[in-house]
Structure 1
Amino acid sequence: MARKRPMTTEELFNRINGILKEKGRLPDILDYGLATHSPVPITNYEYGLKNKLDYGGNEGRTTSGGRWLCADRSGAETYLDMWIEYTADGKRCVSGLGTFKTLRTDDKAMHIMAALLADFIIEEYAYVNANLDDFTWGARHPGDVGSAPTGVERRGVDVHVIEESGEKSKWGYSCGTMKAALKRKDELLMKYNKVIVRDNATRKERIYENGG
């Protein structure tokens, strides 16, 4: 069933966390994995998934320049923070996804948390690319839900290459207007044989061929 509203950063973290749990990829050493308490809607898949894996104090992470200040690790924990970054109105914006924490700080625990980071990145990439429609709402950036009177609506036009396998490429372009999308289509047809253009409002797609 098609979503009525964009997925939030909280929902995305919980969805990937759930996938990792189903696959048995959540390590036993975790104290918790908590999604952000300040969710924002993700209205465009053109964002960067960012992370930080580091030690922190048990009374909250005391940092200076992103580093925990302590000569040893006693009373510390290991944290893995996940967030997304995007550009809105020419400014860099950051929205948190969630945090994993373990009470262990030994070297093996750090390697385990690094493996969790890799698994999260892999599953998030696969999930978003398999569900691009859920991350295509025509807004200029994640967090911009628009102002449609009937709620958030899908807008804009997506352009993708049809690969030699016949599958739509996992990468593509999100354009604000059909005119911009057709211009992008013409540029892509100079390098690729087939390009598909999708109107997100009507969900209609058209395939263009090189020389056609």
Structure 2
Amino acid sequence: MKRLAFFPVLLVLLALLTACAAPPQPSPPSPTAVLQVTIFYTSDEHGYLEPQEDGIYTIGGAAGLMAALREEGYDPQADTALLLSGGDMWVGPAISSWFRGASTIEVFNQMGYDAVAIGNHDFDYGQEVLAERAEQAEFPFLSANLAEVDTGRLPPYAHPYTIREVNGVRVGIVGLSLRTTPEIVLPEHVEGLAFDDYAEALRETVPRVRA
């Protein structure tokens, strides 16, 4: 499900990188002018912070993920890469359900996540809990196609986009939420919300990011 929500986000990222990193030049740029931006992406973490046993291997877990990221050169204290999540951050093992996602956000803060898209499972504890998790997070929760039915505005826990500077390049990141979320989440957990068309949301948001 999250692929549907995140692929448009990645397309916007690439478009903005092209616009920011390759402005018109009077002459061909030298190789030293080429800048690299690395994007690390996870999705559907579902609160699995501890490694899991599959009978043969020990797989997953936040510590294992962080070790793998560091092997690829990721440093949460540096500005040389982006770490993003496509959402569905909780609802899985007991630690996730007991703390209603707070444990996941605590770990994500330590790992240095830059932004997350709001996934359908992120509504599973209701909007009040989602707002608490957004307040706890040291990174923005993104959804450009989410709106309050009564006001037409984004709910206070959501942002349409964020901008980060990575390796000297300003990068715009736009989030989208799955349009069919109301069909797969308890109605009371998304009451008063509209999940708008992806393309319309991008047409409205991308010019604001580029401005």
Into which bin does the TM-score normalised by the smaller protein fall? under 0.3
Greater CA radius of gyration, 1 or 2? 1
Question: Which structure has the higher relative contact order (CA within 8 Å, separation 6+)?
Answer: 2
User: Which structure's residues are more often helix, by fraction?
Assistant: 2
When normalised by structure 2's length, the TM-score is: 0.28
